[in-house]
Structure 1
Amino acid sequence: MTFTKLLGCITLLFFTNVCLAQNSYHQQKEYGFNGKIKKVSTYMVYPSKYQIPTDTLAYFARNIMKFSRKGDLVSQEKSYDLPNYLFSQKMKFNGTGKNISYNEESTLNDFPTEHKQYVYKWLNTLSYEIMPTNSEDTSKRIVHLNNDFTIKQVIYKADNLQTKEDVTYFYNDEGQLKEVHYSMNVTKDNETTFTKDVQKIQALDVYNNPTVIYYFATEEGRVPKTVIFKYYEYY
């Protein structure tokens, strides 16, 4: 797993969506969470050779997200513990609705801890850029949203690197999330690679939020490369 990869609907009437985007956007909607979310704890576990994990004891990655009662992201903590790759990141968010900024602290292996600040710059009602406040940092992330505010596409640009990730959601007849497909293009030093990953929902809680997800390298995959467990706390 590379550092880059650390770093995703039914069409309604246009004018209705303009009003919704202006008046009812909050960050919780980007992740498709239902209910009044207070905290989401996500763990990633590798399957063994003969068994798919059913608990988080051997997790290699963790992501803790906390939301306000309004659905604004308050904080996020990520960690990855892999061979030759030890990464941790803490983000503290400020603002509400579309007026968002955050401070980031990250550490990779034995390198010095980095401290950065970012601000959201909205391009239109359903697209925004995440820009570093340090003018010497030329990187930026562009996020495009669907009409229901879930993430549709994420583009990252920095020096000789550019990534583009497209996200497609699939629902069953009851409107419950069934699968999420991720298509990633990575261009580095004028060479482009393409990957496609698929998340298949295995279990939902009473709010129809996914609790167990199998992560496959291809649509036809039979054995997941990762199992994702999610635990929710509600207001």
Structure 2
Amino acid sequence: MKIDYLTLFPQMFEGVLNHSILKRAQDKEMLQVNTVDFRNFAENKHNQVDDYPFGGGQGMVLKPEPIFNAMNSIEKTESTRVILMCPQGRPFNQAIAQELSQAEHLVFICGHYEGYDERIREHLVTDEISMGDYVLTGGELPAMVMTDAIVRLIPGVLGNQQSHEDDSFQDGLLEFPQYTRPRLYKNMDVPEVLLSGNHANIDQWRHEQKIIRTWEKRPDLLADYPLTDKDKDIIERYKKQLKNE
């Protein structure tokens, strides 16, 4: 995968891209990254990339020329996904990360100030994505978060493919509880089933815990999850257990 970042602050990406999974993906030549400072593409002697909005209003708006010129400097294909980090976009989630992990080339446009000239959105962008219902200073941090979520899903990036298949949200549920050594810590023990060696029972317990944990912490996720009759029984039994405690 190749990823280009259009940004006014290329140095912000250095720490994230040069450590951990993203660094290893580059070392394996499974990921190629490039930052483009679009201030270098401004068409004025002061390298100004923003201006006051027509019609008046607060703040400054990113001018179209630097972004269009920067995009023209990038080698693209018909399948290139150009992502505008924008609070008006569709909320980012695991399904979108999975979708974008199949792409060969991504371009993130990381804006600042009050917004973008609308012609950028209309003529350059294929995807508008938001990190949530809040406003950040710029698009760099969301682009980094998305990159981490996307790249780890590329087959071969993680040493063990199963590592992300059990993640929260991967199947629409939260992840089951995890335990490791020591077995007994400050009188807190590990569930016996995990020590039984019976993988069928362990898988059943983990699924039950995913259903219970999702019902407790993120019940909204269950609206889109195909609960079976057994899953509904798990929830009902847990409700009765809570009442008896």
With the length of structure 1 as denominator, give the TM-score of the two structures: 0.23
Higher strand share: 1
Higher helix share: 2
With the length of structure 2 as denominator, give the TM-score of the two structures: 0.22
